[in-house]
Amino acid sequence: MNPGHIGYLVDRNARKFPTKEAISDHRGRWSYARLRQEVLGIVGGLCSLGVKRKDRVATLMTNRGELIVSYLALFRMGAILVPLNTRLADPEWEYILRDSGARWIITESMFEGRIARIRERLPQIEEVISVGAQEKGVIGWEEILTAPPMEEPPQEPGIEDELYILYTSGTTGKPKGAVITHQNFLWNAINGQITGGFKGDDVVYYGLPLFHAAAMGGCFATMLLGGKVVLRPRFDPVELLELVESERITRVPAVPPMLLAILEAPGLEKKDLSSLRAFNTGATTIPQSLKERLHERFPWVEITDSYGLTEATSYCTVLAGKEFLAKKACVGRPHAYVEIRVVDERDRDLPPGQVGEILVRGPNVMKGYWMRPEETEEALRGGWLHTGDLGRMDEEGYLYVVDRKKDMIITGGENVYPREVEEVLNSHPSVMEAAVVGVPDEKWGERVVAFVIPRPGIAPDPKELDLHCRDHLASYKCPKEYRVVEDLPRTSTGKILKRVLRERWETSGPR
């Protein structure tokens, strides 16, 4: 096994730290020795089912030790991981499975019923493996582990092989699969270690789901160095404070709403939080008032902000230490092995202070979009990732993101693309046309609001629209508010003016 591959970490760390804890979840603990043993067992089991290099295998799990074992086993054997967001609706899972061509699914018992319904429409799915299997036709995780362990899979993956395909919604409303290679993932982890601050003695809490690029990147940046990850299926601020005491957690990656919840958690003052040394945040701009509250309550803890993209394996910039307070609305400087430019519409560099498109280059940038050569060529033209995000640089080389990719909404750290929600609303029989925007929300950063023009003679019922959305979309993508309007503001070419809609909402206020 080439030591440059991410799957090799279990061999190296099992030799260096055999008894050291690698993973703790809500059910058990894995030393590095146990982790290696189970990874080799799953590799053997998957190979016995016919999984081989370049095959796509989907995972659908909450944060738990078996998810990391699955990731490492797939990485080791060169199969291509397709992580599924547990919060998506059935049609969204079905689309990703069909588009990626995934033929196996590794899951847990709570998702078996929904997978069974999808499987009826996807004859490509050969087997479903589940932790705690309950349904007929599903192979138990424990059964897979009984297969003879396999140290060396039949075909060793290359450093430029595809490692995973992570789907990110596009402005057309259809998700695109960003293809990340073994090399991309390793360089992303190196950036996290060198300029992101991850260390081998870290104990890192993950309430953020490991199907997101940033959480996955931080998790393996920690484990590559022999650190420990503490996993929970969902974030609970009170439970987190207890875990900081009991597990001596040193680092907490968290989106701004999570940080606010920590500050407001009951019993905060009574807990021993002395082990904490870092909060890592990102996903959306963190309010200056929240920065100041965090610094006041946790003066000994380093707080870092960041900017990243799924297409860049996650890490692009970092803003840490004293700069975190001093630089308002700033996301920092590029990571160690990342370059960033701000350019005009002809890809010419702009001087400091001028707003343009943010371009990213580095060994962490994706191979391309799965089965989308034209979109790949457009996104990576000239050797730079064209993010579609608008930003500016200051004289010291710090980046400020002033607008996001098109009209993307970030609510509670989750990306919501308005076009995707609009397509679902437009399919409702009472809706002539819909426009979706994000509006400020104190708790979630932004919330989704829909403006709908009714079909003649039909009055849309907000409750019906909400049920319709929930049948087709993850709950976090569904509008929190529906407004029926006679028309929508447009440019001379017919494009809807989302800015004007936000202004109208702010003028009239929430309902």
236-250: per-residue pLDDT in tens? 999 999 999 999 999
Looking at residue 103, its pLDDT comes to 98
In whole angstroms, what is the distance from residue 355 CA to residue 389 CA?
10
Residue 65 neighbours by CB distance under 10 Å: 22
Q: Residues 7, 14: contact at Cβ < 8 Å? A: no
Higher-scoring residue by pLDDT: 357, 496: 357
Residue 39 neighbours by CB distance under 10 Å: 29
Q: Residues 177, 368: contact at Cβ < 8 Å? A: no
Tens digit of each residue's pLDDT (9 = 90 or more) over 28-55: 999 999 999 999 999 999 999 999 999 9
Looking at residue 420, its pLDDT comes to 82
In whole angstroms, what is the distance from residue 102 CA to residue 124 CA?
8
* Average pLDDT value over all residues in the chain: 91
Mean pLDDT of 121-145: 94
Strand order in the sheet with 385-393: 339-343, 356-361, 385-393, 399-403
- Secondary structure element (H or E) that encloses residue 385, with its range: strand 385-393
In whole angstroms, what is the distance from residue 385 CA to residue 298 CA?
36
Q: At residue 210, what are phi and psi to the nearest 5 degrees?
A: -80, 10
Q: At residue 124, what are phi and psi to the nearest 5 degrees?
A: -65, -25
Looking at residue 172, its pLDDT comes to 44
What 3-state DSSP class applies to 500? helix
Looking at residue 173, its pLDDT comes to 56
In whole angstroms, what is the distance from residue 42 CA to residue 424 CA?
39
Report the alpha-carbon angle 10-52-161, nearest 5.
Answer: 70
Q: Which residues contact 222 (CB under 8 A, 6 or more apart)?
A: 198, 202, 204, 228, 229, 251
Higher-scoring residue by pLDDT: 231, 323: 231
Q: Quick one: pLDDT band at residue 322, thresholds 50, 70, 90?
A: confident
Selection from 93, 94, 88, 99 nearest residue 372 by Cα: 99
Give the architecture (CATH level 2) of 409-508. 2-Layer Sandwich (3.30)
What 3-state DSSP class applies to 196? coil
Tens digit of each residue's pLDDT (9 = 90 or more) over 455-476: 888 889 999 999 999 999 999 9
Q: What are 316's two structure tokens?
A: 């692009």
Tens digit of each residue's pLDDT (9 = 90 or more) over 278-321: 999 887 667 777 888 899 999 999 999 999 999 999 999 999 87
What string of H, E and C letters represents the secondary structure of 429-478? Answer: CCEEEEEEEEEEECCCEEEEEEEEEECCCCCCCHHHHHHHHHHHCCHHHC
DSSP 38: H
Mean pLDDT of 359-365: 98
pTM of the model: 0.86
Q: Residues 481, 447: contact at Cβ < 8 Å? A: yes
Looking at residue 423, its pLDDT comes to 80
In whole angstroms, what is the distance from residue 312 CA to residue 385 CA?
8
In whole angstroms, what is the distance from residue 219 CA to residue 229 CA?
7
* Residues facing residue 203 across a β-bridge: 228
Selection from 215, 210, 264, 214 nearest residue 237 by Cα: 264
Report the alpha-carbon angle 189-28-198, nearest 5.
Answer: 20
Q: What are 150's two structure tokens?
A: 């396999």
Tens digit of each residue's pLDDT (9 = 90 or more) over 419-447: 788 889 988 999 988 899 999 888 888 99
In whole angstroms, what is the distance from residue 494 CA to residue 480 CA?
26
Q: Residues 37, 72: contact at Cβ < 8 Å? A: no
- 269 has a pLDDT exceeding 80: yes
Selection from 232, 239, 260 nearest residue 412 by Cα: 260
Q: Residues 357, 333: contact at Cβ < 8 Å? A: no
DSSP per-residue codes, 237-272? HHHHHHHHHHH---EEE--HHHHHHHHT-TTGGGS-
Report the alpha-carbon angle 235-239-244, nearest 5.
Answer: 105
In whole angstroms, what is the distance from residue 476 CA to residue 478 CA?
6
Q: What percent of the chain has pLDDT over 90?
A: 71
Looking at residue 404, its pLDDT comes to 65
Range of lowest pLDDT (200-209, 244-253, 410-419, 485-494): 485-494
In whole angstroms, what is the distance from residue 171 CA to residue 280 CA?
28
Q: Residues 317, 332: contact at Cβ < 8 Å? A: yes
